[in-house]
Every structure is written in C-alpha cells, then in structure tokens.
Amino acid sequence: MRGPQKMFDTVLVANRGEIAVRVIRTLRALGVRSVAVYSDADADARHVREADTAVRIGPPAASESYLSVPALLEAAARTGAQAVHPGYGFLAENAGFAQACADAGLVFIGPPASAISLMGDKIRAKETVQAAGVPVVPGAADPELEAAARELGAPVLLKPSAGGGGKGMRLVRDLSTLSDEIAAARREARSSFGDDTLLVERWIDRPRHIEIQVLADAHGNVIHLGERECSLQRRHQKIIEEAPSVLLTPEIRAAMGSAAVEAARSCGYVGAGTVEFIVPGGDPSSYYFMEMNTRLQVEHPVTELITGVDLVEWQLRVASGEPLPFAQEDITLDGWAVEARICAEDPSRGFLPSGGTVLALNEPAGDGVRTDSGLSEGTEVSSLYDPMLSKVIVHAPDRPTALRKLRAALGDLVTLGVPTNAGFLRRLLAHPDVVSGALDTGLVERDAESLIDAAVPEEVYAAAAAVRLAELAPAPRDGWTDPFSVPSGWRLGGRPAPLPFPVRVAGLEPVTAEAPAGARVTDTSVTVTVDGVVHRFHRAGDWLGRDGDSWHVMDHDPVAAALSGARFGSADTLAAPMPGTVTVVKVAVGDEVEAGQSLLVVEAMKMEHVISAPHAGTVTELDVTPGSTVAMDQVLAVVTPREEEDA
C-alpha cells in the first residue's frame, strides 16, 4: 500500500450523520483537520457543525451528493485533504470510489480496491475463502440458481451477490413460490446495487449471526479482536449487538478468529474489516463463512469498549503506513458491551419509517454509557436517507449488568418529534430468551408483536388533556388572576364539570380526554396522577414521551375532519403510513378497483410501501401524483365501496 508514513494533516469524511460525527471525534483527538460534506438537506446538520470545515456537494438526493464521486473528489481537492474516510453505507464498499481516490492521489481509508471488489462479489468471496480453508455455507449462484435451490431443498436463502445489509434477501420455505421470489429478489438487488446477480444458500434454522473484527496493516500483520453477537435482527437488519457472545468458548473463539484472519489474508486485506459467520445455535463448532464487510461496521463500538482499541484511530494509522504495534496475544477482552441502534421508525405502525423535527433531545451518557449520534435539537429527519439516527452503547463487568444498564439508558433517551424504536428495544432487552442468551436471527420476528405496545396508555391522554388545560389558563396581571377566566369547570350549584378535549394519535381513532386534578405542566414535562399512580412525561409541544416511547397527541376537530374528507379510522380513506414520496400512482378518479389491488407506492428511507384498495369499489378521491411529498397520516385517496354506490 502506498501512502504517507506520517499521520495526515486533513481528512475528508465522505458520509453524514452519526458515523461522520464519530470519525470527526477521533480526527480531533489525533489533531487532524476534518472536512465534512453535506447536501442541501444537511446544511445545518451536526456533522457539518462539528467538522473543522465543510463543503456543499449537491442537492438532497443521495445520488447527486453523497454518492457523487466527482463532487467528493472536488471537495477533497478544494480543501487540501490527503485522505478520505468513507464511513459506512454510501460509497464505503465501492471499489470504483476507492480506485478513484487512488487515481486522484488521495489515500482511501479502507482496504485496496481489489479487496473490496473481491469480497463485494459474494460468489468470488466464497470461492476465495474456501480455497484458504475457511468453511462456507452450501449453495450455488447464477446461472444454476433455481436448479441448485431445488436440489438443496427448502428452506433456502436468496441473496444478492453485489451487496449486503439484508436488501434483496428472500427466505423461501415453499419452493412453489421460488420463481416469484427470485424475480422479486432480482428487482430489489438491481434497484439497490445495480446488479441483479443472485446466489442461493442452504438456510440454517434458528441460526446465530456472529462476526469477527479483523485489523490488518500494509506490512503483512493481521489480527482479530474477538467476536460480536449480531443475532437480534429484524428483516435481516441488526438492531442489538453485543461483545463477546455467550455462545462461544475460548477454543471456538480462537478457531473462528483464525478463520477470519485467513479470510482477510486471502484477499490482501488492509485496515479494519469484519468477517461474518452463520453459526448453528445447537453446534457452535460448525460455523460457516457468510461474507466479509470491507469497511467499519455500525456495531464497531462494542469491540472498542471491550478491547480498548479505537478502530477509527487504527484505520487512520494503518492508512498512513503505520504497522500494528500489537500481536494477537496482546488482545484481551474486558467485560461486556451491548449496543442498540436507534432508528426513525414507528413499531406501533409496523415499523414504518418516521420523520419530523427533533423538538426535544436527551441522549444518555455517564459511566459506561456512550451515545454515537448525528442528532441535535432542531434536526430535521427526512425520508431521504437511512433511518438510523444514533446508537446507545454500554459497557459493564458482565452481561446481566450490561443489559440492565442499556435498558436504563434507553429509558433516558428522548427524541420528541421523531418516533423511534427505543421503547421497543427496551422491551426486547427484557425478553426471557435475550436475558438468558438463547438468541437466534428469527427471535425478533417471532415475538415482535408481543413487544409492541400499540395501544396508547390512558395516562398519555390524561397528560395531553392536562397540557391543553394549562394552555387555557390566563396569565396573571399585576399578580392577580380573574377567577372567572380560569378554566376550572366551575358551575353554579354543582360539582365542577371536567373539560373534554378531543384528541387523536396518528393512525388511531380520536378520543375525548380529560385532565386529572393536580396535574403539573411545564414547557418540558407533565406529571399526572391516574388511579392513584403518578406518571411523568417529557414534553415538547404536543409530543409526550417516557421510557423510550413517544406519542404525538394532536387536537382533533370533528367538523374540520368531516369537511376535509379525512375520516380517521374509516376503511374508505387511504392515508400515508409514513412521511415520504409518492413514486407510483396506478389509478385515477373514477376507476373501479378490487379489494387488495395496488393503487399507489410511497417510498421513504429506502423502503417502499404499497397502498392497496381496502375493498372493492370506486376511487372517488385522489389527492397525489407521482413525485408528491406527503406527511404521515395525509389523505392520499378514498375508495367508496360498491354497496354505498348501489345505495
């Protein structure tokens, strides 16, 4: 590897959000000048404010900004950067970008383009590591895909050859649907990676997902830093990660670590990387190579906390030409670390992407608690980019303490204005199988429904009514308040009449709420007593939150709703399930449709949601066109059922 033999003076961070902030933190600690890049949508983002300087690279669309190689190279040239740190996502595993950096005289802080290209092709990667003696999952690739799948027998897993992150993956348990699943996997792979090549692998029921962190320099030294347990996933996306794993014995850890080192050597790896293995829960000694992630991982902090090694620092030092100063025997694991990924999504609405403005923010910190975040109060979370907002990571002497500490930290997290999965993750951490360590990659999907509190607790509505009652109270003049202007519900000759407040939470029927006596309301908090129990909430405007959960309790005007046609709770009204962009409109006003027929597609945060007809009938309203930006709960269309038309 060619590059300077001393630390860089200036590094451009070709990313955004929490990973950009994380990289900038280490650059600052090393005395290296940091350059942020930003799209118009991120002009006031935290990573822009924390960098030493920042360069605008384009409009909000990622393809015209964060994915624009010419714009990034120009930003590096304008600011005198000698190296580029790609973070993760976007261009981090793009061999063409790594080569373009090298051609421009920039050091790409990551592996050589050849290693990225080799390990980015899952088919070649499997062949390469298998030749190096690393066990791989039985499977095959195009063009023998369908025949191989039928030979392996159900269940099988379809995977894009060109990418990762769970996109395009399909678990096929019924081979009668194989052709349709292959076609769907190809479409998503082509959309996500520009390449629809697939491979098929034998599916291992109740598998564990365990990965090994490796670190290699340009002088032939390769070591591993232990494992991370990443089995808690939803839709093939990791949501909780921990290090080490309760499954591995020291002997299995050493064997898997050695296999990971050989996988890294087989492709000429340099820098920090991760070798992922699938492990049968009943036989951890039978592990199989899945893929190698040729970049820093989202979950790298748990390894940092148990080893004391700053992985970003060593990415930089290795890229500048330094040899690793430690050998394998120098790496020891201390205690336990667990990480939770905080995403802009609403579990109560099927984990649909959320968005909005962060009105109130509190991120946990303290002894053994770390938050990696790209958020600030006032941050606008849009549907343009990945939904992950931050990560909360804890370190403790043992696993039970770490789990309790993380639950407490998530309870302290406040992101009012943007619904997140924090409350769901708190409940997941208390799941008996998670507590016992009996994990597998299907656990979350199997038990997700029991971990979602879809109903709004009574005390939330009581707190919302208390806020509205407090807002009606007149301000005193000269220290005196007119008693007849106080909204006390007082009436002549009788008990005070409680004031009703019609309110609603998005996606739910409106309710009439009443404020309990003795409520205390401030600009940032609400305390109410319901049935003798005191409940405390964080507050920002109409938003309430506690223990990681949040609710946007809005005023409801029945008359205005009726006039607008927004019949909340009506099966006829089709509303946007998430903030996003309408990408497809398949019908027009007056069209006859059948129950379940696809009418529109709304896209947000790389996720498509199909809006289907709730029943047979006629499209009587259609308020959007392709390209329309919509807010959550915005009315998109109305389908009048046929029986109403006949009447």
Q: How far apart are CA 593 and CA 308, in angstroms?
A: 61
- Is residue 386 a part of any domain in this protein? yes
**Token pair 């990551």 in the structure block, residue:** 110
pLDDT of residue 493: 60
What tokens does 147 get?
Answer: 């025949």
Q: How far apart are CA 238 and CA 164, in angstroms?
A: 12
pLDDT of residue 192: 81
- Interval 14-72: pLDDT, tens: 999 999 999 999 999 999 999 999 999 999 999 999 999 999 999 998 889 999 999 99
Same domain? 376 vs 522: no
Same domain? 389 vs 446: yes
Same domain? 279 vs 153: no
Q: How many CB atoms lie within 10 A of CB 118?
A: 22
- Give the predicted TM-score (pTM) of the model: 0.86
- Interval 462-475: pLDDT, tens: 999 999 999 987 66
Same domain? 195 vs 212: no
pLDDT of residue 578: 80
Same domain? 191 vs 152: yes
User: 383 — phi, psi (to 5°)?
Assistant: -90, 10
Q: How far apart are CA 338 and CA 241, in angstroms?
A: 6
pLDDT of residue 63: 87
The 3 state secondary structure assigned to 438-467 is: CCCCCHHHHHHHHHCCCCCCHHHHHHHHHH
Q: How far apart are CA 24 and CA 53, in angstroms?
A: 11
Structural domain boundaries enclosing 149: 138-202
Number of helices (H) and strands (E), helices first, in the chain? 18, 38
- Is residue 485 a part of any domain in this protein? no
Q: How far apart are CA 533 and CA 388, in angstroms?
A: 35
- Is residue 31 a part of any domain in this protein? yes
Same domain? 184 vs 245: no
What tokens does 473 get?
Answer: 């109270």
Segments in the chain below pLDDT 50: 1-4, 569
Q: Which DSSP helix (H) or strand (E) runs through 392?
A: strand 388-396
User: 220 — phi, psi (to 5°)?
Assistant: 95, 0
Q: How far apart are CA 257 and CA 277, in angstroms?
A: 11
Same domain? 272 vs 360: yes
What tokens does 258 get?
Answer: 């050695």
pLDDT of residue 438: 96
* Closest alpha carbon to 153 in 137, 135, 139, 170: 139
Contact 440, 208 (CB under 8 A): yes
Contact 308, 401 (CB under 8 A): no
User: 62 — phi, psi (to 5°)?
Assistant: -60, -35
pLDDT of residue 509: 87
Q: What is the DSSP secondary-structure string of 19-41?
A: HHHHHHHHHHHTT-EEEEEEEGG
* Closest alpha carbon to 549 in 537, 560, 561: 537
pLDDT of residue 481: 58
- Is residue 590 a part of any domain in this protein? yes
CATH number for the domain spanning 181: value is 3.30.1490.20
Residue where a domain stops, chosen among 177, 202, 227? 202
| DSSP 8-state secondary structure symbol assigned to residue 115 | H
pLDDT of residue 378: 96
pLDDT of residue 496: 62
Same domain? 154 vs 226: no
Please give the distance of CA 577 from its chain centroid, rounded to a whole number: 18
**Token pair 């997902």 in the structure block, residue:** 209
CATH number for the domain spanning 240: value is 3.30.470.20
Q: How far apart are CA 368 and CA 403, in angstroms?
A: 12
Strands (E), 541-628: 543-546, 549-555, 573-575, 580-585, 592-593, 598-604, 607-612, 617-622
When divided into structural domains, the chain yields a total of 5
- Is residue 129 a part of any domain in this protein? no
- Is residue 384 a part of any domain in this protein? yes
- Is residue 120 a part of any domain in this protein? no
3-state secondary structure of 433: helix
Residue type, 505: V
pLDDT of residue 2: 42
Q: What is the DSSP secondary-structure string of 141-201?
A: ETTSHHHHHHHH-SSEEEEESS--TTTT-EEES-GGGHHHHHHHHHHHHHHHHS---EEEE
Residues in the chain: 647
Q: How far apart are CA 127 and CA 146, in angstroms?
A: 20
Same domain? 186 vs 287: no
CATH number for the domain spanning 99: value is 3.40.50.20
Q: How many CB atoms lie within 10 A of CB 96?
A: 12
Residue where a domain stops, chosen among 186, 202, 218? 202
Residue type, 507: G
pLDDT of residue 404: 98
Q: How far apart are CA 408 and CA 394, in angstroms?
A: 10
- Strands 360-362 and 139-141, sheet pairing: unpaired
pLDDT of residue 564: 56
- Is residue 5 a part of any domain in this protein? no
3-state secondary structure of 17: helix
CATH number for the domain spanning 617: value is 2.40.50.100
Same domain? 376 vs 394: yes
Residue where a domain stops, chosen among 202, 226, 246? 202
Same domain? 169 vs 273: no
Q: Which residues does 493 contact at the CB level (< 8 Å), separation at least 6?
A: none
- Interval 320-355: pLDDT, tens: 999 999 999 999 999 999 999 999 999 998 898 899
Same domain? 580 vs 551: no
Q: How far apart are CA 526 and CA 544, in angstroms?
A: 8
User: 396 — phi, psi (to 5°)?
Assistant: -150, 170
